[in-house]
Amino acid sequence: MYGLNRAYLLIIVLTMDALKMNFKDETYDVVFDKATLDALTSSSNSMKDTAKYISEVYRVLKPNGTYICVSSSAPELRMDHLRQPGLNWDVKFVKIRKSFKIN
């Protein structure tokens, strides 16, 4: 039997234009992206939209903040977007196993 560490997070879901977020500069410690970058890279204006989105993520992150991007694409297809000029952040790739089992 497993004990659960009960930690509760407040998650608020908002709808807005990811290319022009309604947040002040340096608002968040963490930005979590599940497929937004993937969707933008397949848009009709993919290069422009992707660059604007990454710039917006960078803008709303606090100094030393963390952007977590969960993508189904190969890392080499995303790294150029994440390493665009003017972004002063470290980019790391971490592979997550496809499945896991708790014994």
Q: pLDDT tens across 30-75, in order?
A: 999 999 999 999 989 999 999 999 999 999 999 999 999 999 888 8
Q: Does the pLDDT at position 102 exceed 80?
A: no
In a domain, 93, yes or no: no
**pLDDT > 90 in the chain, percent:** 63
Count how many domains the chain has.
1
**Whole domain around residue 74: which residue ranges?**
28-82
In a domain, 21, yes or no: no
Q: Angle 6-102-66 (CA atoms, 0-180°, nearest 5)?
A: 60
What are the backbone dihedrals phi and psi of residue 51, each rounded to the nearest 5 degrees, phi first? -60, -40
Contact present, 50 and 81 (Cβ < 8 Å) = yes
In a domain, 42, yes or no: yes
